[in-house]
């Protein structure tokens, strides 16, 4: 997702920044909390989705960008579909992750941004995911080699994780997508 909205003027509020970068006017939110009520991962969040919007409206930039909620969001769009004001909150969450990465704020869930980067680097390099390579790269970055090792072994034994990647004919096209999209990306 390319989030190169209009440039935000220096001194703009956090609310103005989020609206400008995401293109979503969250000022229309009247806190009905349908986004929070429908979220399938809300139990793992430190700030409810509806409260994220309220915190943005109050200008609490560090609290929002440092929260684990923006990284835990599964981008399933349930919140966006349930919103009576058609606020695309899933897009706002993507925008918040983008702003957090660009501003150097320490993520509330430290491993999730690492996983996102490893995942995209894997696709960028080969055009698809090979689970074992992905796991190994992720473990090398996090230095947490034994967490989930038992689950990984069970998945391997059941044939869910392959030793070698399977072939893929569309890798050139995927690399071209990354090349074209990378021109406008800011990182």
**pTM attached to this predicted model:** 0.70
Q: Taking all residues of the chain, what is their mean pLDDT, rounded to a whole number?
A: 85
SS3 (DSSP) at 137? helix
Highest mean pLDDT among 68-72, 128-132, 178-182: 68-72
Please report the pLDDT score of residue 169 as a whole number: 81
User: Stretch 44-66: mean pLDDT, rounded?
Assistant: 95
Enter the tokens of residue 43.
Answer: 């139990």
Residue 9: what pLDDT? Answer: 54
pLDDT at 187: 42
pLDDT at position 5, please? 45
DSSP 126: H
Domain extent listing, the chain:
14-103, 111-184
In the numeric block, which tokens belong to residue 75? 């981008």
pLDDT by residue (tens digit) across 127-144? Answer: 888 888 888 888 888 888
Helices vs strands, H then E, count in the chain: 11, 0
Q: What is the pLDDT averaged over residues 85-99?
A: 94
**Spatial distance between the Cα atoms of 186 and 165, rounded to a whole number of angstroms:** 31
Residue 21: pLDDT band (50, 70, 90) is very high
The label of the residue with tokens 């995209």 reads 120
């Amino acid at each position: 997702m390319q989030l190169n909205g209009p440039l935000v003027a220096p001194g703009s509020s956090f609310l103005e920044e989020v609206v400008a970068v995401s293109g979503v006017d969250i000022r229309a939110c009247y806190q009905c909390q349908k986004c929070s009520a429908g979220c399938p991962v809300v139990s793992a969040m430190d700030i409810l989705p509806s409260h994220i919007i309220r915190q943005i409206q109050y200008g609490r930039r560090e609290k929002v960008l440092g929260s684990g909620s923006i990284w835990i969001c599964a981008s399933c769009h349930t919140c966006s579909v349930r919103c009576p004001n058609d606020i695309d909150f899933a897009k706002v969450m993507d925008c918040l992750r983008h702003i957090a990465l660009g501003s150097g704020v320490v993520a509330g869930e430290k491993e999730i941004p690492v996983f996102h980067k490893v995942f995209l680097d894997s696709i960028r390099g080969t055009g698809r995911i090979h689970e074992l390579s992905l796991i190994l790269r992720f473990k090398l970055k996090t230095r947490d080699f034994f967490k989930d090792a038992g689950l990984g072994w069970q998945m391997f034994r059941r044939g869910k994780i392959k030793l070698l990647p399977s072939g893929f004919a569309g890798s050139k096209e995927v690399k071209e997508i990354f090349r074209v999209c990378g021109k406008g990306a800011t990182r």
